[in-house]
Each structure stands twice: as structure tokens, then as C-alpha cells.
A and B are shown apart, each in its own frame.
Chain A
Amino acid sequence: MKTDPRELASSAGEQLHRFHGGLRLRHNKKISCQQPVERPPLPERLYVPLLQHRGTPATPLIKAGDRVLKGQCIGASGPRGAPIHAPSSGLVLGLEEGPIGHLTGQTGTRVVIELDGEDRWGALEPLSDWLEQSPDVLRRHIQAAGIVGLGGAVFPTEEKLTSGQAARIETLILNGAECEPYISCDEMLMREHPRYIVEGARMLRRAAEAERVVIAIEDQMGAVHKALDRAARQLGAGSVRVVRIPKIYPEGGERQLVQTLTGMEVPAGSHPHELGLLVMNVATAAATRTALKEGKPLLERNVTVTGNGVQTPRNLLTLLGTPVSHLIACCGGYSDDVARLVVGGPMMGVPLPSDAAPVVKGTNCLLALSQDDIRAPQTEMPCIRCGDCTRSCPAQLMPQDLHFHIRNQQWDALAALGVESCIECGCCDFVCPSHIPLTNWFRYGKGELRELQRERHAAEHARERHEARTARLATAKAEKAARLARRKARLADQDGRKQQIAAALARAKGGRRNRPEDADS
């Protein structure tokens, strides 16, 4: 038994492990894999949000009336974030507030570009011979190309690489396990461009200064496995290995993937890089390759448009900023019984209030669900403590207990039960025979806890400030008293000295008077 995290991290994927719980779901992926990935026709306008990543929004570098070229940087990266580029050439109509896709589900600033239809590139700056470049240079280029995690978490890739650098990375894990049903954008990418991924894997390995790369795919992706293996052989990438893992939702979750490949659990509140592992999405690797080799920043991505709510489900290579309605139209439009529109998969996807939202860096899937697909509004029954939720929870929580404490507003007990470890995968919710919206309750509970902690923190801060102030005043008072005392003492001292002087003078006078010889003289 190996127990050293370093050793386990370096042997990732040699032996597979089982994480707790999870579900075997029908994957419904075939419907969107029938046609090759194509670019849809250019829309008239693009709506490019300045916040498409986790962090601070980019600062706009353009104004209304500017002409932009494809690939031109239109938003400079904030202190934590990524820059934004113009996905096609055209005229900037201005900045406006509007829906910004899935990231927060809210609104934000978007750059509206009216496309000229020419798709003219600006100057490209590929990195000549990346193998000669230092990891630092690679990371800078990755940052400049606006690359973020394309699996959906949209964490700036450069930031992740840098955080890993301090920890010395053994293994870079490329996540090709699309565990949610319906989504097939990564599978199509791996099938059609295995070389991109292997090349990108090598670049990321160098940028992360990792020893080796493991590409994790699902055991049902036989064709993908062969394609990736062949690409790795052709490119002579000996440090890149492809591992097939069992398809148990949510095996594509970062923590579950780490456990599957190494048997290690990522400690709560910590990140995989502290175990010597870095997890990135396969699409991120492909984007890295395009950025370094061709000099093209992140402007487009594979988007799965699927579900029984669209006429012809398929994958489209979509420019960022393309309105969702345009993509749906390219897939033959909605079917009659469409009931819900979701960004992401059916288990964790975020509902879109309207199809006016644009495609952003994190948009992996647009799922139009028909009336039959969705959870019909069912009567919520009381919890019968059947324990199915506990059995299915990959975080090894007891969801029924959490639910009970949230309902009773017992926040401290809730925190003690580890609600923060919930990854909101929806497994418990899915299996619950009483149809309790558990995931929603947990989101609410976590929010309340955070609010409470913030309040407590503020109160603590205020208390500390108050105490500091009291202490400061007390010291000031004490100092003042001490000063006074000193002065008094000094005055008293002066008095004493005066008396001494007077006494001395008196003595001197008296002495002179009493000295006989003086008197004689």
C-alpha cells in the first residue's frame, strides 16, 4: 500500500478507485453526436460579456464606433481574471448591460459588436517553438490568450498553473470525463481533434512543470481512446497517458476524478495542487495549443445544443458572444413542447431565463428540455429517512440530516455536519423518493451560513476594534497619568533641588561667616 501523497500523485491512473455514492444515469449523448462539428453562420451581432471567468471583469479597451479585428483584445484583464478578445471583426456599437450567460445567471456589461461578415484577423503572434520557451513565457501567453477552464468552472488557467507551480506538480490530469448526461462537446472535440489535445497536454505539462499527463476519459468512449492513443504515439508524447474510468456520475467532478485516479481525497478547503495534482479540462488543452501554436486567443468553443426541446441536436463550434437564440435557430429551432432552457447538463445546469443570453467561455451545453424530460412539479412529501441520499452522496454527507437542520435554521449544527463539502451534484435530489429539492435547500443553507459568518466576522471585527479603542484610550490615559506623575516628580525634584541649592547656599554663606580665617582675612 502506497500512502505517500507524492507517490500516489505520480502513479495517478495506474490503478482505479471508487468514490462513494454516485449514480449510473442514462447518458443521452448519442443524439448530439450524429453530425460532425461545424461552425454556424455568423450572427449579425455578438454580445461579448466582460466577465466570462471567475474573478474580476475585464476593463474595456474600446468605445462605441471603434472598428475591431478578429482576435483583437477588447478587454484588459483585471487583477484576477482574463482578458477578452473580439471573436470576429466588425463595428463596436457600444457597451450595454444585459444577460451574460451562465456564470452568475445575472446581468453584466457586454460589448456589442456588429459583425462586418469578413471575419478579418488582426495580427497573430504565435509562440515560435514553444519547447524552447520557459514555463513562465508559456504561462504569460496562456494568460494573454484569455484562456480559462472550459469545463464550466472558468477559473483563469494561468492562475491555476501559477498556484500549482509553488506546490511542484507530479501529474497533470486532463478531464475528458463528461459525466453529465446529454453533453458531448468534449467527446466530439477529442474524437475530431485528438492531436490538438495531446499537443495542448504537452504544452500545459511544460507550463505547469508537471512530470506527466493523464487524460481521463469515460470507459464508453472507445473511439476516443483509440484516437487519443494514436495521436500520442504519432507525436511521441511518452509522458501522456490515456486512462478510461467507469462512467458513474459525477466522476468528472474534480474531487471525484482525483479520488478515482489516485484513491486520495482532496482535503476539505484545499485544492488538488496541494497533493501534487492539477486538473484541467481537455478543451482547455486544445485552446492552449491553438493559442501557442497559432497565436489565436480563445474566441470560440464547442457547444452542444441538445435535448428533446430542439429539432436537430448537434455540436457547433461557436464564437463567444453568439446569442443563444441564434444557435437554437441553427439547430432547426425549438420543438413544440420545449419547457426549459439550461446551460450545462440536466443535473447541475443553470436555467436560462431567456435565450437572449450569449455563449460565453463556460458554455459547454445548451440543453432545451421538453415537458417530458423535466421534473414535473410533484408534491413534496416529508422525508422518510430512507437513506438513498446518503447512499448516493459523493461527498459522504447525510443529506437528510443537512435538510433537517436547514429547515430548523440550526446553522451551527449545519456547519458541523459539513454542508460546505456539498458539491451540489444533485445526486441526493435525484434519488429522493419524497421529491425534496435538497440541492436547492443546500444552496440556501450555504448562503445563509456564509452570511452568518460574514456577520459574525463583522461583529468580531467591531468588537476587536472596540476593544482596541478601549485599550488605546486606557493606554493613553495611563500614559497621560504617568506623564503627569513624572512631571510632578520632576517638579518635586526641582523643589528638592532648589531646597538643596538653597541649603547649600545657606551652608556656603554660613560657612563663610563661620570660617575664622576668612573672618581674619
Chain B
Amino acid sequence: MNRVFPTQQAPHMPSPRTVRGVMLQVLYALVPGVAAHAWYFGPGIFLQLGLACGFALAFEALMLRWRGRPLRPFLNDYSAVLTAVLFALCLPPLAPWWIAAIGMLFAIVIAKHLYGGLGHNIFNPAMVGYVVVLISFPAAMTQWLPPREIAAWTPDFLDACRAVFLGTLPVLPEIDSVTRATPLDTLKTGISQGRFVGELRNSDLFGTFGGRGWEWIANWYLLGGLYLLYRRIISWQVPVAVLLSVVAVTLPAWLLDAGTNPQPLQHLFSGGLMLAAFYIATDPVSGCASPRGRLIFGAGVGILTLVIRRWGGYPDGIAFAVLLMNLAAPMIDRFTRPRIYGR
């Protein structure tokens, strides 16, 4: 008797990769950076991560139901969680709880689902959320703590809860010592007041090559990014282009006039640059798809960030740079298609 078989088409081998797996790998790669963040700025970051993830999943579920999509595969793909984590990593650890709620509302509901959900969003959802709260609530978004080594006070988990949910900070003897400007902010204000970089860098806010504390968090992000490159989760073009373009622009400026231009390492290891280079600008959905396009995309992010840092109204311009390049991505892709074999 002849046996009958189902006829699915080739290839017949199972795929080794899943969307969920890719997202999880990125999350794993962030672990050392997050741990360093918690070490320098207290456990408030965990609270922000938890809040953002909670809101993100809630909004995701709501929108999936509303759009009539299956819940399970999309809630399990960790894409909303990754958006939430990247968003939360940009927040001051003691930012009020509603910042996360509003940020995730814009990230998940508007930037992601109203554009068609996973795979269809034009803008990086985490950056949309971040930019909305950054522009709308500047006071809450600039309440950064100094790193542990120089802080008069580092909050424990309970302090963080009180600050996030009730908005109460402890009263300390010295004025304005709970929150302080970030290193990038200090540089920007200082240079605009005609002071020199060398002089500004004497402040205890600065470390060996970047901002104190910040430089080590960025180092751990870099390490995680290298892991992602090794596992081929992200393409090398974007981070390499971001970092190289920053060095290429800042190195000559620094060599010409070290007084008003910070050194390249200072740029690389402060603000969100390292995080953006490996985790945010590499978002495939809103970025370029062609290999050459990714180089251009990365270079654009790097250069726009510098332009905003130097001339813009914000100390760090990475989020704006990413969103602006998101706008340009389809056009870049159009002009950078690879040559087809034999044509």
C-alpha cells in the first residue's frame, strides 16, 4: 500500500531564529548596562523599567484586542518590552510614574499600533515616547541624580518608590544636591558661557573620558552591543557608522580647538550615544534595510546628534537624530539597493 504525505513546499528545515529570540537577545545584552546604571544611580531604574514594561504590555494588549489581532504571539514577542526598556533607560531614575504612562501611550499606541503594529512603524516607538515626554515635561525629565561616588545621597528602593509615586525627595542640608545637571548639560551651558572644556572637566561630574558613572554604563552597553554583533543579532553597519561618524567629526574639531570642543571620547561615552548606537539606531523596523543604507543611516544619526549637541536646544540630541533619520530611511533605502547578481 502506498503511503501519502502532506506536501509543504521547501525549505523543509526549521528556522533557527524567532522574533522573540531576537528581542530576548537584545534584552540580555542590556543586562550589564542596566546593572551598572542601578549601581551608579540607585535602584530607581528598576522601578522605571517595571512601570514602563507594565504600561507597554497593557497598551499593547489593549491595541491588539482593539485591532482584532491574536494576543498571544504578539505579547510573547517581547517587542513591546524592548521598547519599554529602551524608553526607561533614557529616564531619570526618579521621574514620576506618569512619565512612563504617557511615554508608553505615545510609543505603543500612537507610534506603533496606529501605524500598523509590529513591523510597520515608521518611527522608533521608544524614541517617540521619550521625545514626547522630554518636550512636554522638561522639569521632570532633567532631574538627574549625580552618580554614587559623588552623591550626597543615593536613594534605596523605598526612597525611589516615594519619589516616583509621591514626588517627595528627602530634604538635604546643602541646597540642590539631590539632583544635578548631567555632564553633557554642564558642558553645553559652560561652553555657551565662554568657559573652556578643560576647566569644565575639572568638575567632579566628569570621569576619565566621559561623565563620571556614565562612562562605565556606556562601556557595559558597548560590551552588550559587541555580544549582539557576535551573535549577528544586529548588523555591524549601524553602530560602526554612528561611532565612526562621531569620531570623524569631533576629532578634527578637537585637534583644532580643544578649548571649546570636547574630545571624541567624551562624546562617545556620554549621554545616550552608546545605547543608541547599538540598541536604538539598530532597530530594523524604523531604520534602513540595505547594507549601504544602514551605513548612511548610522552616519546620519551620529552627525545629527553632534549638530544638536553643539547648536541645538538640548544637551543630547540622540533621540531627535534617530527620529529624523527614521524619516529619511525609506528614501535612503531606495537609492542604496544592492546590485543584483549578474546585473
Contacts and interface: CB of A to CB of B under 8 A. Distances in A.
A203 to B, nearest CB: 30
B342 A375 contact: no
Interface stretch (A167-175, A221-229, A285-293, A434-442): A434-442
A519 interface: no
Contacts of B339: 396
Nearest to B12: A346
A346 B11 contact: yes
- The binding surface of chain A is classed by DSSP as loop
A439 B4 contact: no
A396 B340 contact: yes
B120 A354 contact: no
B276 to A, nearest CB: 18
Contacts, number: 177
A355 B19 CA distance: 36
A401 B119 contact: no
Contact of B119 (A267, A340, A350, A383): A383
A439 B9 contact: yes
B291 interface: yes
A382 B7 contact: no
Interface size class of chain B, counting residues whose CB lies under 8 Å from the partner chain = 35 or more
A351 B8 contact: yes
B341 A440 contact: no
A396 B338 contact: yes
B11 A255 contact: no
A344 B9 CA distance: 12
A278 B77 CA distance: 48
Contacts of A434: 19, 119
Interface string A343-373: 0101111111111100000000001010001
Contact of B12 (A349, A386, A421): A349
B311 interface: no
Contact of A385 (B2, B284, B340): B284
Contacts of A381: 18-19, 73, 77, 118-119
A438 B128 CA distance: 31
Interface stretch (A37-45, A120-128, A425-433, A483-491): A425-433
A388 interface: yes
Interface string B215-253: 000000000000000001001000000000000000000
A443 interface: yes
Contacts of A352: 5, 7
A353 B290 contact: no
Interface size class of chain A, counting residues whose CB lies under 8 Å from the partner chain = 35 or more
Interface string B1-37: 0111111111111111111011000000000000000
A45 B70 CA distance: 52
Interface string B118-138: 111000000000000000000
B338 A375 contact: no
A433 B15 contact: yes
Contact of A431 (B17, B19, B117): B17
A320 B8 CA distance: 26
B258 interface: no
With a 10 A CB-CB cut-off, give which of A373, A382, A394 has the most chain B CB atoms.
A382
Contacts of B17: 388, 431-433
Contacts of A367: 12
Contacts of B15: 375, 378, 429-433, 435
A394 B341 CA distance: 8
Contacts of A418: 340, 343
A20 B7 contact: no
Nearest to A395: B341
A430 B284 contact: no
Nearest to A438: B11
Contacts of A424: 10
B219 to A, nearest CB: 26
B308 interface: no
A434 B22 CA distance: 10
A346 B13 CA distance: 6
- 3 A-B pairs closest in CB distance: A382-B119, A426-B11, A351-B7
Interface of A: 20, 25, 105, 181, 255, 259, 265-268, 270, 325, 334, 339-342, 344, 346-356, 367, 369, 373-376, 378-379, 381-388, 390-391, 394-398, 400-401, 417-418, 421, 424, 426, 429-435, 437, 439-440, 443
20 contacts: A105-B7, A255-B341, A255-B342, A267-B342, A339-B5, A346-B12, A347-B10, A350-B10, A355-B5, A367-B12, A369-B12, A381-B19, A386-B284, A388-B232, A400-B289, A421-B341, A424-B10, A429-B15, A432-B17, A433-B22
